[in-house]
Structure formats: structure tokens, C-alpha cells
Structure 1
Amino acid sequence: MCSGSGLVGLLLGTLLMVASSSAQGNSSKNVICYHGTWSVYRPGMGKFGVEDIDPFLCTHLVYAFLGIEETGQLRVIDPYLDLEDNGGRGNIKRFNALKLVNPVLKTLAAVGGWNEGSKKFSMVASDPLKRARFVDDVVRFLQRHGFDGMDLDWEYPGQRHSLENADRENFITLLKELKEGLKPFSFLLTAAVASVQFSAEISNDIPAMVPYLDLINLMAYDLHGPWDKAVGINAPLYASEREAQDATGWWPQFNVDAIVKYWLQAGAPPEKLILGVPFYGRTYTLATAEGNQPGSPHIGKGIAGKYSREPGVLGYNELCKLMQQEEWTQEWEPAQQVPFAFRQRQWVGYDDPRSLSLKAQYVMDHHLGGIMIWSLESDDFQATCGQQAYPLLHEINRVLFDRDTPSGLTPASSKDKPNEGFSCPADAPEGYVRDPDNCSKFYYCSGGKTNSFDCPSGLNFDLITKRCNYSGSVKC
């Protein structure tokens, strides 16, 4: 766990709006949460909107995705959902308004993703004029909409329909020019990257990219799936006994431990490495019901989720409910430290609170920068499977922070805990107010509503900076 002094240093740095949320040394941990915005169109209990996000369980929220044009301009993929123009729903505005609830939360706009592909990134990265247009468009977009930075999700340089053999080098140039454009405004720059060595070596010059990125999100999932000949678990922590004995050196790469060690040995500083974890499992249809252990043959993708509706994929919220309704056999793979389950000829390898607790502890033990989640809408955010909403995210927070609010702010008001004492007057202007009797307590007034917060231990709310600060620096 973080030491007391290190934790205070982390929180103070964040609360004073330091440009980079990445820690100096090992005093900081980050929980970076992607929100796939299309999930607002899911049916029934799977529908997930901005109003379903708990802004106290993540240090960074990532809005996924924006697109990129061949010209170098940004593209809003769903204008009706994202923007307010022409009667739009204004999702981006509501997303960034979560910072009014948790004032130390950071928000990022993600550009790219699997569906956006690589071709247009390759075209833009190879052309100086297009790169300049992209940088300018990104800066304008972040300023206009109130984001704190950008997450670049090019999947992947040098792969998937790339047009240039120099993608690897051009990617570094793009990062360099992006960082130069973002730096004057203290915007963050992060990237989601291919994690496994064989793929990362093609796409990433790791020592060259490190100076330009505040955080590096390792997509350490989809390590096994229906594209393999045998069933395997989505994101194992360690290699299976069968994989560890592979003489080619190929299969031992496909686990979290091998991924992290490769990136560290290649020159990535641990405090910038963010371990990506999946809140979904990969499903298969077994060749026979009897062949149900990892490594067994299959005939293709398994069932789709009720909400995500993608064959071969089950969100944790879909899977946990399915297991309550049907008799699934749940087992633990001891070598890989992850669960799997099967019912008749359906098989799934996934993550649960136990395996995510082990991954979070791995982050602590190896002094990594934190954990990245793909993605929020696949946690049990409705608490349909248990008494607590967001059980996966809560477990990650428990290990990384020994509490449930990683920002260090303890909300004194919630759905089940009303404000005590102070309440904002109905006509109060929108903004922050310090408690008249307690300098470490403050409120955010909005439309007559009162959002209450406590500064971390040893800090008081500064009326000048509107942030928590060291007690000796604050006039009470």
C-alpha cells in the first residue's frame, strides 16, 4: 500500500492540478476507466449512460471514442449522442460535468480504437501537414469541451492495413508533436498500446515513446480467444504449465507477468505503466462437453451477452447474472490465477473480484502506475448479482488504495448518506463553499443541491485556489 506521506503527496499533487497525474517514484496509483459510449444504446438493464458512472472509483475517465480523418482532423463518431448541436444529447458535456462532483477527477478523450483501424492513422502520421492539423484539432477540441487530455489508441502502428513501413518511427514523431502541442495547456497525453512482445516490438519503440507519454495503458487482455485452436483464458496473470513448457518461446508471452516484464526490460519506467484488465470474458463453443479444461479444442465463438450482443464475448455483468440463472461449473486455474466456467458445450475464461485483486496486488508489488479498465459498462454497475454496485472496480480500489475513493475525497453525501449540517441555499451561486466550522470540509453547490467532500487527512480547503492544500498554507 502507499505510505501515509506518499499518499498525502500524491493527493496534494493531484488536487493542485499538476499537469501529469503520473507519480514521481511510486507514490501514486491511477485507476483509468474507459467508457464505451455506445453502451447507452444497450437494452434493458445493460443500458449504461454517464449518469451510471461513479466518479469516485476512477482517477481518470476516458471517453471512447473519437475518430480520425485522412486529412488529420478529428471526427465525432456519434454527433447526436456526443454534442448538443441540433438537439443532440450533449453526452460529452455531461461526461465532463462529473468533475463538478469529484473535483480531482481527470477526463480524457480517446481517439481511435479497434474499429477505427490503422490506415488513417498511418496516413496522418506520415505527413507533416496532416500531423500539424491533427495536433491543432486535438488542442481545440480539448479546450472547447473541457477535457484534461487525450488518449491515443492507434491499433496498431505497422499492423492492420498500415500504408507506411515507417509507422513505428512516424508514431514517435506524432507523439512528439502532440506532446509539444498539448504541453502549453497542461493537457495529458496517454496511449493504449499493444502489450504482448511479438506485437509490441512491431509497433512500439519503447524508449523513444516514453518521454512523450504521461501514462502507457497496456492492453493486457484478448491474450486468448476463439481465434486460437484451443480454449484459453482472456487475460491470465501467469503462463499455464502447458504454455510455460513451450520451447518456441511464443506461448509464454501471452500473460500479464510476461507482458509487464517485457515492457520494464525494454525501458518503460514502472510508474508510467498502467496494467489493462478486462471486465469481460471470451466465450467458446467446445468440441465436446467432456473436453472442458483450458487447452481443450473448440469449434468457434461461444454465446453472446444479452446486452453486448457480440458472439464470443460476455461482460461480467452478463456472466454473473447468467450464472445465477443457470448451472455453470466454475473453476479456478491455479497456475494462471484466473477463473473459467463451463456449461454443456459453452466455455468462458474471464476475470472476477479474486483474480482482479491478484492483478491489483501485482501492480503494487511491481510498483506500476496503476490499472486501466476496459470497460466500465461491463462491471455489475446495477448490482444485479450482489449487494454492491461495481464489485470489480471496488475490489481494485480496495487493493490499490485500501479504500473506495481513489481521489482521496470521501463523499459525505451519497444515495444512502444525506448531508449533515450545512446545505446550499436554493439561490446559492454554483461553486465551492468551505464549511464554516471545519476547514477540511467543503461543498459544491449546484442548483440548490449540496455535494459534500472531505479533504485528505492533514489538508484543508483553500478558498483561493479552490483546492485542498497543506494546513499550514491555508488561512482558516
Structure 2
Amino acid sequence: MWSVSGLVKLLLGVILMAASSSAQGNSSKNVVCYQGTWSVYRPGLGKFGMEDIDPFLCTHLIYAFLGIEETGQLRVIDAYLDLEENSGRGNIKSFNALKLKNPVLKTLVAVGGWNEGSKRFSLVARDPSKREKFVDDVVRFLQRHGFDGLDLDWEYPGQRHSLDNEDRSNYITFLKELKEGLEPFGFILSAAVGSAQFSAEISYDIPAMVPYLDLINVMAYDLHGPWDQVVGINAPLYAAEKDASDSSGRQQQLNVDAVVKYWLKAGAPAEKLILGVPFYGRSFTLATAEGNQPGAPHIGKGIAGNYSREPGVLGYNELCEMMEREEWTQKWEATQQVPYAYRQRQWVGYEDPRSLALKAQYVMDNHLGGIMIWSLESDDFRGTCGQQPYPLLHEINRVLFGGNTPSGLTTESNRESPSEGFSCPADAPAGYIRDPDNCSKFYYCSGGKTHNFDCPSGLNFDLDTKSCNYSGSVKC
């Protein structure tokens, strides 16, 4: 029979294991944040530079974009901005230096994007020598600039070009060879992928691509926009009631829930599936001011915002400022679980903290790998709308991590000056060192400099995961 003390110890052990499991479950969530580097050229308060990134709010930062040549070579699109040569601004160096502030942060570079198109990817993917050149260029670039991996953003295999080829199968070969080239160096390979079934099944053999990707960033947005005949919300969580009457079944696929269910059913493991969410809305000009419900007719794109300056698109930062200056009617679409707003003949379907909290909870409920954000510069990153900076990103982290940042670290936990009794040796390689006398303290050494961190109360630094973890789960 168990003694009372034995039962107490057993119960404590169960509680600690449960707590450890919960902590590991939360710490396994990813917050993958893209930054559109051209946003540094935006006017006024919309200008977004490296100094505006909070490196503690994301697990992965993705630098967007590099291009691809028909030869398989990487192409730096804005050499003056990205590089230091010829008196350039050295954006890439500043981007990767964010890891000196948050040593558990991972940085990736994205190749592709919508504007890069599909044809050049197709030409490279079909040619073994060009694929080899691309893999070699990528490895060299990541090593040279200090990135942790590559995000492949081919939009989209088998679409947007007229080549008679086998993009769908070539894409798998491309991923396989990329993985073989990156894996020996410990580099991450992720991909941004199309979302809705009728498009994704053209481009992807999902079970075949899964083994080669660490993260699958599903772009579950742009599900409705000015290309539709009627106004619709950018990324509805669920289908609208009227979607059920669509005999083709296409409209029923254009919501987050349908996208996720398709990818899971098609063979994507939940832990690799990263739900992409937009920090911008799709806007329209209504046919009449009175016809302002979802599904109303429109005559085209909405007016451009002050920062993005692109008709039909409004970043959350642009929109929240507009709503402070002007009288907008804000509505909540209960079935689709997203907001929309209108003013005179301008109409926008967008995201706010409430809708993103619901999407983050959906990630938790369905045990997905995390959330991907497009993109940082569209959040209210300055906090000009009366809230804290990055209100959207903070709300996602609140749901995924219980109010903490992904690592439990913050800007305040990073002290630049060395602590008493410890400093990194001048010849120490870049990396992490845990304090020999205090497991809740750790350091990042780089070039002889010591960057000091303290884990939040009750957590210790885990040398295996390179993050703060429950003390019961850390060998100290």
C-alpha cells in the first residue's frame, strides 16, 4: 500500500509532469513573422526599419524578399538597402543582429513572393544543374550573412505561367535537394504555400512535400478581395451562410477552417502546419453607400492608405488611424468571426485583436504548429492608436503563450553590460552559455561581448531547446 508521503510525492510528480508537458506544448508553438523590407521607404509614421522590430515577439523572423534568376542564381533585389557594399545600408546585417538581443530568435530569408512570379521558379525546378546552382547559392548566402534558414515562396507551382512542364512533381524534387543541401549545416527549410483546396491541389503533392519542410506556412488570406464580384472579408475564420448555396463548392473552401481541414486531411502534420494571418484588410469601393453588408456589389478597389499606398489594401495601422480621424461604422460578422467596416462608399474586411485571438485559439484547439504573420509593418507597431505597440502581435502571443513572449524573454530581460563575476572570453565562439551558479541566468557571447539574460520567475534556461523552460524540465 502507498504511504501518505508516497502518495503526495506521486501526485507532485504527476503535477510537475503535466506542467512540463503544458510548458513544452506552449513553447513548441511558432510565431513566424515576415517583414516586407520595402516598408523602410514608407512615409511618415508608416516608415518601418530594423529598429522598429521587437525581436522578442516572434520565434522566427523572415526577411522578404530575395529573387531568383532563370540560371538558378539568387538575386538581391535592393542591393543598396540589403547589403553593405558600395556604402549600402546593410539591412541584412541589422536584421540578423537582432539575435544579439534575443539569442533564441531564428532568422530566415525568403526567396520569391507574388511580384517575383512563377516562371523563373519553374525553369529552375525542371533543370538539375539550375537546381544545384540555386542550392549552392542559398547555402553560401545563409552562411555569409548569418541566417538560420530559407523560406521558399514560389507563388505558385503549376500556376501563373504558360510553360508546359511538371511543376507539381518538380517542386518536390526542388524541396528534396534543398533539404539535402541545407540539412548538413542545420539550416531550416520552410515554405509559404497557397491555401484553398481548388488552388493547392494544383500545386502541391502534400504528403510528398512534408518530409522536407520544417514549417509549412499556409497563406490563409486573400480569400476574398476586389477580384470578386461582391465585397467579402479577407480571411474569414468560418464560411458565410450564403456560401452553402454555391453549387460549385468553391466558396465553401474560402475560409480558414476549410483551408486547415483540407491541409490536415491531405496529409500535412498539424505540428508543421503554420496558420498564416493578415495584418491588413482588403478594401472595396461600394456600388452604393446603402449596400454595405458582406456580399454587396462593388465597383473596384478601395482607396489607398497613406503608408502602403496600394489601392484595395489597408494595413491595420493605416486603418486604425483612419478610424480615429473619421467616422467609420464598425461591424462584427458573427458567422465568419471577423470584423468589417464602412464609411460612405469605402468598405474593408480586416483583422483586429478579437478576430486574431479567435484564430490563435483555433491554432491551440487544433494543435497546429503556430501562426504566421504577413506582415510586421502593418501592425500598429508604434502604438499610435492608443494601445501598446504591436497590439495584434501581442494578442496572438497572449493566447499562444499565456501573456508571455514565445521565449518568456523581453527587452527588459536583456542587459547589455556584463554581470559581476562573468564575461565572455574574447575568443569565445558565438553562442549560449548558462551561468554556472544560476540556471535561470544565461549569456550570449559574440565577438567577446556579453549579452545577459534572466529567465522569468520559475523558469530555467534549457540548453537542449535554447529557451527558458519549467525548472522541473531542465537538468540544472
TM-score (ref. length: structure 2): 0.89
1:436-455 mapped onto 2 (5 Å cutoff): 438-444=438-444, 451-454=452-455
Deviation at 1:453, TM superposition (A): 3.0
Range moving further from structure 2, 58-67 or 27-36: 27-36
Q: Which residue is equivalent to 2:300?
A: 300
Contact 2:156–2:194, Cα closer than 8 Å, also in 1:
yes
| C-alpha deviation, 1:238, in angstroms | 0.3
CA distance in 2, matches of 1:421, 1:279: 38
Give the aligned partner of residue 258 of structure 2: 258
The secondary structure found in structure 2 opposite 1:171 is: helix
CA–CA distance in 2 between the matches of 1:376 and 1:284? Answer: 23
Contact 1:8-1:456 at 8 Å conserved across structures = no
Residue 290 and residue 113 in structure 1: after superposition, are their counterparts in 2 closer, same or farther (change >3 A)?
same
Deviations 1:384-414 (CA, angstroms, capped at 9, x unpaired): 0023000000000000111231023344447
What corresponds to 1:96 in structure 2? 96
Contact 1:411–1:453 (CA under 8 A) maintained in structure 2: no
Aligned partners of 2:284 and 2:300 also within 8 Å: yes
Partner in structure 2 of residue 22 of structure 1? none
Alignment match of 1:6 (pick from 9, 21, 26):
21
Q: Quote the residue 2:192 is aligned against.
A: 192
Q: Which amino acid aligns with 1:210?
A: V
Match of 1:140 in 2: 140
Q: Secondary structure at the match of 1:109?
A: strand
- Change over 3 Å in CA distance of 1:271–1:461 after alignment to 2: closer
Q: Please list the CA deviations of residues 311-333 of structure 1 after superposition, one character each: whole Å capped at 9, or x if unmatched.
A: 00000000000000000000000
- In the alignment, the residues of structure 1 paired with residue 241 and residue 109 of structure 2 have an alpha-carbon distance, to the nearest angstrom, of 40
Cα distance in 1, alignment partners of residues 90 and 288 from structure 2: 49
Distance 1:469 1:344 in 2: 51
1:31 maps to a residue whose letter is V
Give distance in 2, aligned partners of 1:275 and 1:182. Answer: 24
**444-453 or 348-357, which deviates more:** 444-453
Q: 5 Å matches for 1:207-246?
A: 207-246=207-246
Match for 2:369: what amino acid? Answer: G
Contact 1:122 1:164 in 2 (8 A): no
Q: Kindly provide the amino acid, as one letter, of the partner of residue 213 in structure 1.
A: L
Mapping of residues 72-471 of structure 1, within 5 Å: 72-413=72-413, 422=419, 438-444=438-444, 451-454=452-455, 457-460=458-461
Distance 2:316 2:130 in 1: 40
Amino acid at match of 1:217: N
Moved more, 343-352 or 419-428: 419-428
Q: CA deviation at 1:250?
A: 1.2
Letter in 2 for 1:389: P
**In 2: Cα distance, 1:301 partner to 1:145 partner:** 39
Contact 1:7 1:28 in 2 (8 A): no
Residue identity matched to 1:84: E
Deviation at 1:121, TM superposition (A): 0.2
Task: Kindly state the Cα deviation for residue 100 of structure 1 after the two structures are TM-superposed.
Answer: 0.8
CA distance in 1, matches of 2:374, 2:149: 18
Paired with 2:371 and 2:69, the residues of 1 have a C-alpha distance of 30
Q: Quote the Cα distance in structure 1 between the aligned partners of 2:231 and 2:394.
A: 29
Secondary structure at 2:247 match in 1? coil
Over the matched positions of the two proteins, sequence identity in percent amounts to 76
Shift of residue 248, structure 1, vs aligned partner: 2.0
Between the aligned partners of 1:361 and 1:214, the Cα distance in structure 2 is: 22
Deviation per residue, 1:275-320 (Å, 9 max, x gap): 0000000110000000000000000000111000000000000000
Task: Evaluate the alpha carbon distance shift between residue 306 and residue 439 of structure 1 in structure 2; reply closer, same or farther with a 3 A threshold.
Answer: same
Q: State the distance in 1 between where 2:301 and 2:406 align.
A: 37
- Per the alignment, do residues 334 and 145 of structure 1 end up closer, same or farther by CA in structure 2, a change over 3 Å counting? same
1:17 aligns to what? none
Distance 2:72 2:29 in 1: 33
Q: Which amino acid aligns with 2:171?
A: F
Conservation of the 8 A alpha-carbon contact between 2:458 and 2:470: no
Tell me how far apart the structure 1 counterparts of residues 61 and 421 of structure 2 sit (CA, whole Å). Answer: 28
The offset of 1:449, in angstroms, is 8.7
CA 1:423–1:7: 2 relative to 1, 3 Å: farther
Identify if the C-alpha distance between structure 1 residues 115 and 448 changes in structure 2 by more than 3 Å, giving closer, same or farther: same
Does the Cα contact within 8 Å between 2:108 and 2:151 map onto a contact in 1? yes
How far did 1:202 drift? Answer: 0.6
Amino acid across the alignment from 1:364: M
SS at match of 2:354: helix
Once the two structures are superposed, residues 6-27 of structure 1 have per-residue CA deviations (whole angstroms, 9 ceiling, x without a partner) of 355469xxxxxxxxxxxxxxx7
Amino acid at match of 2:342: F
Relative to structure 1, the CA distance from residue 126 to residue 436 in structure 2 (aligned partners, 3 Å threshold; closer, same or farther) is closer
d(CA) in 1 for partners of 2:170, 2:321 = 45
Counterparts of 1:461 and 1:265, CA distance in 2: 35
C-alpha distance in 2 between matches for 1:78 and 1:113: 14
Name the CA distance, whole Å, in 1 between partners of 2:220 and 2:144: 33
In structure 2, stretches of 5+ residues that fail to align are 1-16
Letter in 2 for 1:113: G
Change (3 A) 1:44 1:274: same
Give the SS at the match of 2:208.
Answer: helix
Of 352-361 and 2-11, the range deviating more from structure 2: 2-11
Local SS of the residue matching 2:392: helix
1: distance between equivalents of 2:294 and 2:95?
A: 40
> Do the aligned residues in 1 keep the contact of 2:419 with 2:452 (CA within 8 Å)?
no
1:129–1:371 CA distance, 2 compared to 1 (3 A): same
**Aligned AA for 1:452?**
F
How far apart are 1:161 and its partner, in Å? 1.2
- 1:247: how far off? 2.4
- How far residue 448 of structure 1 moved from its aligned partner, in angstroms, is 8.2
- Distance in 2, Cα, partners of 1:146 & 1:183: 15
Unaligned runs of 5+ in 1: 12-26
Contact 2:32 2:62 in 1 (8 A): yes
Amino acid at match of 1:49: G
Q: Secondary structure at the match of 2:216?
A: strand
Q: RMSD of aligned C-alpha atoms?
A: 2.9
Q: Report the CA distance shift for 1:251/1:332 in structure 2 as closer, same or farther (over 3 A).
A: same
How far the C-alpha of 1:164 sits from its partner, in A, is: 3.5
Q: For each residue in 1:146-183, what CA deviation from the matched residue of structure 2 results, as whole angstroms up to 9, or x when unmatched?
A: 11110000000000015243000100000010001111
Separation in 2 of the partners of 1:465 and 1:286?
51
Distance 1:341 1:182, change over 3 A: same
Q: CA deviation at 1:262?
A: 0.5
Letter in 1 for 2:257: D
Relative distance call for 1:5 and 1:422 in structure 2 (3 A) is same
Say if 1:467 and 1:220 are closer, same or farther in 2 by CA, change over 3 A: closer
Q: Are 2:41 and 1:44 aligned?
A: no
Between stretches 184-193 and 440-449, larger displacement belongs to: 440-449
| Contact 1:286 1:298 (8 Å CA) reproduced | yes
Instruction: Report the Cα distance in structure 1 between the residues aligned to 2:472 and 2:396, rounded to whole angstroms.
Output: 33
